[in-house]
Structure 1
């Protein structure tokens, strides 16, 4: 156990090293398992940061506490994750009684900063789900707390770790098309996945910061990583034109709605036993409805989003996010001084197959549903030459296979050098959300937003001086 645990400690230090600030390794001894607590027992918390850690890494860690404001979800989480630790509806009490080494934060996005800061102030290292937080002032408070604490803060990005995204990084690192000058990046959420955000708490700005932050933080982190630079300015447009009050009718929830037969977005939660056990069975504790009406008037986030982003190295990016596409997927094109790279995933016309969009979403969200027998192409077209097609083996499930690889890097192979620098630290977490926060501010003010004015972090034209191959 000593060796496995030493690997884990080394990994956290490596991940935190991506921060722009001095960090230290974990300070506790190696004679016992890592004491972990989890706050927030929703889908992501109980599965990826709960059950999977217990199933795969119990030799080096143990859960000593679970916390949530909903006591019913807590009891379900304890059974589902497979732990015997005490449960707490009071986070401060959990910290005091369990004295954990690591706090994992998977609560509603707008509350991340509360638990991150308390964990750091109590001498704990913290691992938080994306997005780091939802507002610039909260991001600055987290920065200040992390600097003062001397502890480590890690953001759980996973898209970097998929084989397809890694291949794009490799091509860019190898200067395949020269210096990058501009990028076109378009993400499409289908009518199953996209709609799901609007029926959950994510449909409220004060909970998730809008999809500019909750969802697009993934996309912006990929851009920052691929381009190896920080954003410097963003200008955006956005509106709510499809969901929310734009709907033809409304109901209290899909289960009780009188318009079930006529609503194309009807969602039968009773067919998903896990959602029934985790959410529906515990509505009486906090009133949270998982199959809420996506046409309710309180929805105030954008369902149409477009932005132009300028980077500190003068690269410009045109980005859009569609939330009611007939298919789920994305396209990106890098323009360089020597050519162009085009990449896309899950575009049904490109792979010439009929894809069940509901099944696709279910598999993508299931960390253990990995399929190996698929491939997608990347097009490399150099100036004055014919294009080349690069075929990349891809996976479905767990965010393109990124979830499993992220965990394995942390817990199994942290000592192995990563030539693609996929580990993400606090600076990565902040820079990814600042684009979304800036875009949101730009829509509200009608002005371009300087990223360097949102926190005290200064955008860098080159994040990593060199990456060894």
Structure 2
């Protein structure tokens, strides 16, 4: 790339994260060469979306200089899968010293994100982290302090914002199509295939994922914060574990060895996936991680039903729920405004009088090949004193509704492109999304509403910063 293009990328990487014009110095990373990238955490998300896809789509812009993971077998497979030729490190500190990356991408277990983010920032690297940014308020504060002290920037990979469908919702709200928004109803449904997968994996343990209030719902809370264009102020929540874990009629170590597989509706045959077998099953000996864990194992301690009321600093009130064992997968949102109502939904079968293959749905959404279904999805707009209209939005299914591709193109290919709707998510966005989930957990434990401002040094504002 030309030096001027590289400088624009670097300058705008900083702008994307900080929301302000803070040009980097001339000797900043990668000005006269490709961006040197290190990936820590080589599981499925890291090796695919933040790995193989970057290698294929941006070979003239970046190069991987190191991979790091506590599991050497999985890391070796990821290196081959990604198609890179770079050193691998079990020791993250050694990787930082020897590889000297410009950018560190963090896709480890959620509860460890802060360790790698903070070390990378202290070593003069910019950082991109998968959502959630972290899992509790204390770690969140450590990250906030580390970024401020480092002079470097942290970006959070909130990809849902970038899909054409949710972008159209944002546009309608920004232009006040139904006046000022006063309240929102947001319901997310995980089906018995995708929802159950969280309980098979490490996500089912609170100490690793922070619960689905954080791991999964931070996606949803970020959408809400972005749509409402305000900071959350107070949260009151309910939650329970009533379906998975100890509630099951039987249990085993994992699906492969389970004596109940013939009668268990949640039986999942990992052996049908050569990729999963090579990445996970063949490398269990290194760290003991079992990818096809039993959804009824006793160690599961997260919630499987969740409901919260969120009050925003601009006085908008949100009713939110997350279901993890729905017969169908999808979501619905409704915005009540002073001049009408907007409703939007994705993959609600009866809304289209259609049958969707629920088992294949998530695989199609996660597809990173660049090829996928083109969809026309409706948005319902009803004025208070007028007829309703249906707006058809051309969208996609693959890559999280087309959000994955657009997020990465903005970061690595078109950093100088205008961003009028503020799609790019920085550290404050990452923190605010996590803190709603943290507050929800605390509210359940205390049966009291929780003020967001009491959790970290961040103070909610009526308008997003």
TM class by smaller structure:
over 0.9
What is the TM-score with the length of structure 2 in the denominator? Answer: 0.97
Measured after TM superposition, the shift of residue 29 of structure 1 is 5.0
Measured after TM superposition, the shift of residue 408 of structure 1 is 0.8
1:280 matched residue in structure 2? 281
Paired residues for 1:245-394 under 5 Å: 245-368=246-369, 370-394=371-395
Q: CA RMSD for the aligned pairs?
A: 1.2
CA contact (8 A) 2:30 2:36 kept: no
2:24 matched residue in structure 1? 25
Measured after TM superposition, the shift of residue 273 of structure 1 is 1.2
CA contact (8 A) 2:234 2:450 kept: yes
Task: Give a deviation string over 1:52-111, Cα, whole Å, max 9, x none.
Answer: 111111212111110000010111011111111111000001001111111110000000
Provide the C-alpha distance between the structure 1 equivalents of 2:397 and 2:424, rounded to a whole number of angstroms.
21
CA contact (8 A) 1:73 1:282 kept: yes
What is the TM-score with the length of structure 1 in the denominator? Answer: 0.97
Provide the C-alpha distance between the structure 1 equivalents of 2:147 and 2:433, rounded to a whole number of angstroms.
18
Provide the C-alpha distance between the structure 1 equivalents of 2:22 and 2:446, rounded to a whole number of angstroms.
37
Look up the SS of the partner of 1:172 in the other structure: helix
Provide the C-alpha distance between the structure 1 equivalents of 2:265 and 2:216, rounded to a whole number of angstroms.
23
Measured after TM superposition, the shift of residue 463 of structure 1 is 1.6
1:148 matched residue in structure 2? 149
1:422 matched residue in structure 2? 423
Q: Which runs of 5+ in 1 are unaligned?
A: 465-469
1:47 matched residue in structure 2? 48
CA contact (8 A) 2:18 2:153 kept: no
Task: Give a deviation string over 1:143-182, Cα, whole Å, max 9, x none.
Answer: 0000000011111110000000000000000011111100
Measured after TM superposition, the shift of residue 10 of structure 1 is 3.3
Task: Give a deviation string over 1:100-134, Cα, whole Å, max 9, x none.
Answer: 11111000000000000000111111111100000
Provide the C-alpha distance between the structure 1 equivalents of 2:74 and 2:327, rounded to a whole number of angstroms.
33
Look up the SS of the partner of 1:415 in the other structure: coil
Provide the C-alpha distance between the structure 2 equivalents of 1:363 and 1:455, rounded to a whole number of angstroms.
38
Look up the SS of the partner of 1:378 in the other structure: strand
Paired residues for 1:36-75 under 5 Å: 36-75=37-76
Provide the C-alpha distance between the structure 1 equivalents of 2:381 and 2:68, rounded to a whole number of angstroms.
49
Provide the C-alpha distance between the structure 2 equivalents of 1:369 and 1:293, rounded to a whole number of angstroms.
33
Task: Give a deviation string over 1:379-423, Cα, whole Å, max 9, x none.
Answer: 000111111110111211111010001011112222111221101
1:467 matched residue in structure 2? none
Look up the SS of the partner of 1:296 in the other structure: coil
CA contact (8 A) 1:12 1:25 kept: no
1:454 matched residue in structure 2? 455
Look up the SS of the partner of 1:343 in the other structure: strand
Provide the C-alpha distance between the structure 2 equivalents of 1:252 and 1:160, rounded to a whole number of angstroms.
38
Provide the C-alpha distance between the structure 2 equivalents of 1:98 and 1:132, rounded to a whole number of angstroms.
24
Measured after TM superposition, the shift of residue 24 of structure 1 is 5.0
Matched, 1:92 2:98: no
2:404 matched residue in structure 1? 403
1:434 matched residue in structure 2? 435
Look up the SS of the partner of 2:417 in the other structure: coil
Q: Which runs of 5+ in 2 are unaligned?
A: none
Look up the SS of the partner of 2:311 in the other structure: strand
Provide the C-alpha distance between the structure 1 equivalents of 2:37 and 2:123, rounded to a whole number of angstroms.
14
